C-alpha cells in the first residue's frame, strides 16, 4: 500500500463525510453498484421494523466521491469510519482501485456489502424496497429522509440515477397514503 490514504463514498459519505480530508474528488468504482440492499436495524430502522440502507452490491459500476486523508489523520478517520459504517458489521472493509474524475487511479478504503450477512436484503423489487423504507425510523432518523438526501445530492453531483428517483416517488406515494 502506498503512503496515500483514500476513502470512497457512494452514499451519505458523499455529502456528510464527518472527517477531515486533504482532497475530495469525484470518483468511480467498477464491479459494484449502489443499491438499497441492506436491512437497517440501527441507523434507519429497528430490529422490529427494519428499514433499508445503501450498500455496494456486486456488478456494474458506481460514481461517488473519494477523499484523500492526511497520513497524520488516517488512524482517527479509519476508527471513525469503522464505528460509523459497522454498527452491525454488515459491510466488509476492503481496498479497491477507484478512478478519479481527473483520470488518476488510487486505492481507496471501500465498504462493500456482505451477501453472507443476515442483514443482506439482496436484489429487492422497487415495490418491496418502498414498503420497507416508508415509515421506517432509526437512530439517524427517518428512512425516507436518507433516500431523499441521496436523490438530492446525486442530482447536485450531476449523477443521473432514475432508479433512485423512481424509488423516492414510490416511497412518497406510500407515505402519503399513511
- The question of whether 85 is a catalytic residue gets the answer yes
- Cβ atoms of 145 and 168 within 8 Å: the answer is no
Q: Compute the chain's Rg from CA coordinates.
A: 16
Q: Is 129 helix (H, G, I), strand (E, B) or coil?
A: helix
Could you tell me which of 95, 80, 98, 69 has the C-alpha nearest to residue 4? 69
Q: Which residue is it, cell 436495524? A: 41
Catalytic residue among 83, 85, 127, 172: 85
Q: Tell me which residue of 163, 73, 155, 160 sits closest to 109, measured CA to CA.
A: 73
Which residues participate in catalysis according to the annotation? 85
Amino acid at each position: 500500500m502506498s503512503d496515500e490514504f483514500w476513502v470512497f463514498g457512494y452514499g451519505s459519505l458523499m455529502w456528510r463525510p464527518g472527517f477531515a480530508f486533504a482532497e475530495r474528488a469525484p470518483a468511480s468504482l467498477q464491479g459494484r453498484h449502489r443499491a438499497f440492499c441492506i436491512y437497517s436495524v440501527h441507523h434507519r430502522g429497528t430490529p422490529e421494523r427494519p428499514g433499508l440502507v445503501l450498500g455496494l452490491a456486486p456488478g456494474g459500476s458506481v460514481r461517488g466521491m473519494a477523499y484523500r486523508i492526511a497520513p497524520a489523520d488516517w488512524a482517527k478517520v479509519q476508527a471513525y469510519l469503522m464505528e460509523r459504517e459497522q454498527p452491525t458489521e454488515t459491510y466488509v472493509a476492503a481496498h479497491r482501485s477507484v478512478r478519479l474524475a481527473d483520470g488518476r487511479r488510487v486505492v481507496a478504503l471501500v465498504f462493500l456489502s456482505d451477501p453472507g450477512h443476515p442483514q443482506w436484503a439482496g436484489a429487492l423489487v422497487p415495490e418491496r424496497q418502498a414498503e420497507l423504507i416508508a415509515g421506517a425510523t432509526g437512530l439517524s432518523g427517518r428512512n425516507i429522509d436518507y433516500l431523499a438526501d441521496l436523490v438530492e445530492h446525486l442530482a447536485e453531483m450531476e449523477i443521473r440515477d432514475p432508479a433512485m428517483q423512481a424509488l423516492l416517488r414510490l416511497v412518497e406515494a406510500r407515505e402519503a397514503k399513511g
